[in-house]
A = this chain, B = another copy of it.
Amino acid sequence: MSETPTRSAKTAKSGAQASGKKDGQRRGEILAVARRLFAERGFEATSIREIGEGAGILSGSLYYHFDTKEEMLHEIIKDHVFSLLKGYEKCAASAADPRTALEELIRFGITRLIDQREVHAIVVNERGYILRQPSFAYLDETWQEVFRTWYGVLREGVRAGVVREDLNLHLVLRMIMDSINATIVWYRPGGRYDVEEVVTTQIGILLNGLTTRKS
């Protein structure tokens, strides 16, 4: 049960009473359609008519639930990066040592993103569009916080002598994040690879390149 709609949204519109719950439910159903389409075809390439069709209503009726098409996009992704950050922070704080922390960060990142691959595909693929919209600034701030969390672990690793110190940590971090993020582009659940295999490969390559050699 992944990708369940977060209805932390302003669920009840102004005067909703008995219909409030149902409206919120319908809202979630529409968002699920939009999320799938945005992930498959892209935000700009998806028309509100396609969303309406998928939800079984006319495009104009979408505006009873949402003010704009962009509001749907906000609803879909706003909590995602934030909860991802929380998960990363937990990994970083609870691990016994830097090496374990890195392993858990990578493992958590991959499994989480695969579990929520539609949302994440949108965040990655619509990166350009999102960066251009000032209304999505909060996303960028959260990403920076994610980077800081990882970076802290890497530095701790260097201090503890577990992480190589001959590499630029910023570049290393970019690479790791890219590796994790790129996975969702081609990964298909139920396909030829299972998640555990992907996790093992990524940890295997990334960490054994990162950790110092204890010959």
Which residues of A come within 8 Å of B, CB atoms?
Answer: 40-42, 44-45, 125, 127-129, 164, 166-168, 170-172, 174-175, 178-179, 181-183, 185-186, 192-193, 197-198, 200-202, 204-210, 213, 215
Contacts and interface: CB of A to CB of B under 8 A. Distances in A.
A97 to B, nearest CB: 19
A168 B40 CA distance: 28
A209 B213 contact: no
B167 A201 contact: yes
Contacts of A166: 204
B204 A205 contact: no
A167 B125 CA distance: 29
User: Across chains A and B, which 10 residue pairs bring their CB atoms closest together, nearest first?
Assistant: A178-B182, A209-B209, A205-B209, A208-B209, A171-B201, A215-B215, A167-B201, A167-B204, A44-B45, A182-B182
A175 B205 contact: yes
A193 B171 contact: yes
A119 B144 CA distance: 28
A63 B36 CA distance: 36
A197 B213 contact: no
Contact of A172 (B167, B201, B207, B209): B201
12 contacts: A44-B45, A167-B200, A167-B201, A168-B197, A175-B179, A178-B182, A178-B185, A179-B179, A179-B182, A205-B209, A208-B209, A209-B210
A127 B200 CA distance: 27
